Copies of this chain bind each other. A is one copy, B any other.
Amino acid sequence: MLRLTLRAVLATSLLALAAPALADTLVDNVDGVTIDAEGKVLRFTGLVFDDDGKVVQVLARGEERPRVDYRLDGEGRVMLPGMIDAHVHVMDIGFAALTLDLSDTTSLEDALARIRTFAGENPGRPWILGRGWNQEKWGLGRFPTAAELDAVVADRPVWLERADNHAKWANSLAIQTAGVTAKTPDPAGGKVIRDARGNPSGVFVDKAMALIEEVVPPPRPEDRDLAFAKAQEVLLGYGVTAVADMGTEMADWTTFRRAGDAGRLQIRIMAYADGFETLELVAGSGPSRWLYDDRLRMGGIKLYLDGALGSRGASLKEPYHDDPGAKGLPLLTPAQLRNLMSRAAMDNFQTAVHAIGDAANAEVLAAVEELAETYDGDRRWRIEHAQIVDPADLPLLGKHGVIASMQPLHQTSDRLMAEVRLGPDRLEGAYPWRSVLKVGGRLAFGSDAPVEPADPFAGMAAAISRTDAKGEPFGGWLPQETVSRETALAGFTADAAFAGFAEGRFGRLVPGERADFLLVDRDPLFASPDEIRQTKIMQVWIGGVRVRGE
């Protein structure tokens, strides 16, 4: 009899599990801020989430608290939605963090000591890879040598990139492994630095780097797993709980899935495939499902229409101010771009087109204008970077609700370079955040990490001030393009989710969305840009589970 009774109750209770009444958790006494379902700022002091890790209730100050199973005291801290970075390269974040960084070494001895330590701390790595050395900064007056490296690491090949990526430094084992000898000729466009007898002495310049590069082993699966773990650690450290991964390769995707299968996938990844091969293999004939409780989805493809401003690869309408013979390199013809976007749209995949120069941006917008006739409905065409947009082209952004996925920190890093490349008279449409909003376009903010640090608080500070970490330039660079604090917060939360078709799942602390939130020590809606950059992240929660902090 007892057993039957238990069963009857259980049947009722199991049904009840679908509703949010059981095993709820209340985080009370917080100074909560979120973008709400109407896109407005909502302030609250308590948050209730259920066993599924979904928000059940957002409680205003003074509002009656429901009976719950667990109750946590937020101690008056500021609660924010987990930050979303709309443009990162997840695996590259991990690989960069795992590579020896020599960029702040002050002497050859300093560098060698670091290399020795790194090798000792990483006994399992078959090659020691690193980057960032600069013999000029060391005051060395010559290139370093293989023999100097051999003295600190002789048991494994070592291969270290110079700060400018135009030379690399190898130890003897790396040179032997590649079979480079005194008899190896310098390749066209490259130079092997040699000793008096003609033997390679350690440094390989430009195209000569390929002589060694081709024998560097590709990452092993365990390297990928480790890099992904590291990437999650880096992102969570910045309070980032979700990202758009721009250019997901098959090996990246399978790494994410291994993590998901093993319960090691913490952050949420909106994946944009690196090409149609990956897209069709993975997702098939339409966007993949949301996997692992909204932690992974492949919903679209990343396309490249041009290069970057720094290397003069960005495609401009008029020649570069500092190189009147150059207008950049479009990577696709107009027809190719339309065909690729059309092929994706046909299967309801989203397109995210890298466009930096004004010619490239004009081209994407023209393509959207054409394609929108055929592919109507909620397409959310994305432009990645959208750094230089001709004001004349901006209205098309609004007309088609195009999402400009922009990186505030690029603006602060690039501004001097941009002035040189474009000249003083063509800066009107440079990093035009507010202008995008004015014409009815949509913003999503990100970092392009590891190109910039994946720090959304630094990003918000830049977004509202157009100044860098030193507060320069005073008053902000083209300050008419700053956005409000609320817009900056939305850009790194709700709007970044919307850009990946994730609204309703995460990005806001509203009922039904995942309880992804941070407890931090200050309110970005009231702090100065400099204070925002100093934000301390006390706790990070994803889906109602604390993943960082105590």
Contacts and interface: CB of A to CB of B under 8 A. Distances in A.
Contact of A13 (B13, B220, B222, B288): B13
A12 B6 contact: yes
Contacts of A261: 288-289, 291
Interface in A1-51: 3, 6-7, 9-10, 12-13, 16, 21-22
Contact of A284 (B22, B225, B280, B289): B225
Q: How large is the interface on A (under 10, 10 to 19, 20 to 34, 35 or more residues)?
A: 20 to 34
A281 B9 contact: no
Chief secondary structure at chain A's binding surface: helix
A69 B254 CA distance: 41
B224 A284 contact: yes
- Copy number in the complex reads 2
Contacts of A22: 7, 10
Contacts of A255: 284
A258 interface: yes
B12 A288 contact: no
A220 B10 contact: no
A282 interface: yes
Nearest to A17: B10
Contacts of A6: 9, 12-13, 16
A257 interface: yes
Contacts of A396: none
Given A22-B10, A257-B257, A262 B289 contact: yes
A13 B17 CA distance: 13
A200 to B, nearest CB: 30
Contacts of A178: none
Given A7-B22, A22-B7, A291-B261, A285 B12 contact: no
A165 to B, nearest CB: 23
Contact of A281 (B7, B254, B284, B285): B254
Contacts of A284: 221-222, 224-225, 254-255, 258
A488 to B, nearest CB: 35
Nearest to A255: B284
Interface of A: 3, 6-7, 9-10, 12-13, 16, 21-22, 67, 69, 220-222, 224-225, 250-251, 254-255, 257-258, 261-262, 280-285, 288-289, 291
